[in-house]
A and B are shown apart, each in its own frame.
Chain A
């Protein structure tokens, strides 16, 4: 199937809307609903959420930084704020702060490309996350940045690359490989914007997922729990039933999965066994 790259005005960056301990996969979005990565957010939402986590000094720094970005987007001064967001607002808030700065400056494709190319990993991720809020986000001009991030081994970059911009603009081949890379690298598919919409009816994605599951089970290795989720979303299942997440034998899923009742049980087992370190295989 072909996915037309139609911009979606309602698309937003991934927002943390679910916490560990929240209901498991049985409560996940149905195949027809939006994935968590599509929960809309606006720069105003981000700013409001940040306000609660910044202390007075960081808040006034942010106000000053945003004012400078709006006042003189063509000058270099605001880019120093962009670079130093971590030490002024903390490592965790810095991503949101940088997205707001890029929005306030109305950064265009040339600026975004330069900031990405000359950026730290955290700055690169912020450029990718900012795309849906900027005019460049409505064009395919930033695809080279997404493609660069999808070549990276850093899972924070891979996760940032598969946001709403990629959901709209990546071609089918590139998008399928991005999904597969997330499964390889241990990036939760919640990070993939437009997952339900783009996976629906995608027989080629289903084939790739099935082949990957076969490769894993043949090696006696775990099938990522998210793989079954993606497979369900395609509507095509080569085996007609989920692959057993957490399989340790060298055979395909057997009656074990059915015997334990649901795939949810298998997925829960896989999460509990999740290694501290992600698979270092890309």
Chain B
């Protein structure tokens, strides 16, 4: 089973996680930029974090045989903090980078006017840079948050097929599906969604435009939940091809719209030994 985790915060995970993910079949992932639990107090803190998502973390992932890409944005939790808003002006220099496959996570947290502004501005940035957008739907007041998100999306120039609505559940999936956007589901040990509920939703809605992620981060979460969904799908009678569509081809199709996705590390590992590329890691000649 080949797995692409379209939303996981590896910065918060250990090398044991990378090893276990590889053993479970994970070969590619996207790490969206988000908050760190502890609020940031200056724009510089964001830039070091973005640089890490374009430097150290892809290197760490490649050491474990996993292709790493990222999404860059001013996240919803910090879009309302005046100390962090100047980040918006620096985003363009990051959005041209090769490893950036979407603008994200953007969206609402508390549905404030500041969040309105940041969301609209960043949807425009996505369109300007030929990138799709990863849109976080709020955890509190989710249904109302989704409706307000869809309103802003309709006013933007970004077409729905270039938008992934994430953290959906039973209460929001119908309206999200009707919008024409891609549908993202985060599978958590206790909250958001679990694998059995996910299988029920897949039975109802089919496997088109559906992405499943672990959204694993520094909180209670499990980087192997993508694999758990694949196993639960097979147990429920879905075919290998349907599992592959949800766990690999759909995320490749969505992020592939950036023109920057290289989900296969094989090209890099064919690089000469003293060159850039991970073959240099093999200990020499």
Interface set of A (CB-CB < 8 Å, partner B): 14, 16, 18, 20, 22, 24, 36-37, 80, 83-87, 90-92, 94-95, 118, 120-122, 124-126, 152-156, 159-160, 186-188, 190-191, 225-226, 271, 274-278, 280
Contact = CB atoms under 8 A, between A and B. Distances in A.
Given A121-B55, A153-B56, A92 B98 contact: no
B280 A156 contact: yes
Interface string B55-89: 11011000110000000000000000000000000
Contacts of B96: 80, 83-84
A83 B97 contact: yes
Interface string B266-285: 01101111111110111111
Nearest to A187: B280
Given A120-B98, A186-B281, A274-B284, A95 B63 contact: no
Nearest to B99: A120
A160 B276 contact: yes
A121 B54 contact: yes
A25 B61 CA distance: 31
Given A84-B98, A120-B55, A155-B59, 14 more contacts: A16-B274, A20-B285, A22-B285, A86-B98, A87-B260, A91-B271, A120-B51, A121-B59, A152-B56, A159-B274, A190-B274, A191-B280, A277-B63, A278-B283
B93 interface: yes
A154 B281 contact: no
23 contacts: A14-B275, A16-B272, A16-B273, A20-B285, A84-B96, A87-B98, A91-B268, A92-B267, A94-B98, A95-B276, A118-B93, A120-B98, A121-B55, A124-B55, A155-B281, A156-B59, A188-B273, A190-B274, A190-B284, A271-B283, A275-B283, A277-B64, A278-B281
B98 to A, nearest CB: 4
A280 B56 CA distance: 13
Contacts of B262: 86, 91
A188 B274 contact: yes
Nearest to B55: A121
B267 A276 contact: no
Contacts of B267: 90-92
Q: Pick from A86, A120, A187 the residue with the most CB of B within 10 Å.
A: A120
Interface in B174-198: none
Contacts of A86: 98-99, 260, 262
A225 B274 contact: no
B193 to A, nearest CB: 33
Given A190-B284, A278-B281, A154 B274 contact: no
Contact of B56 (A154, A187, A188, A275): A154
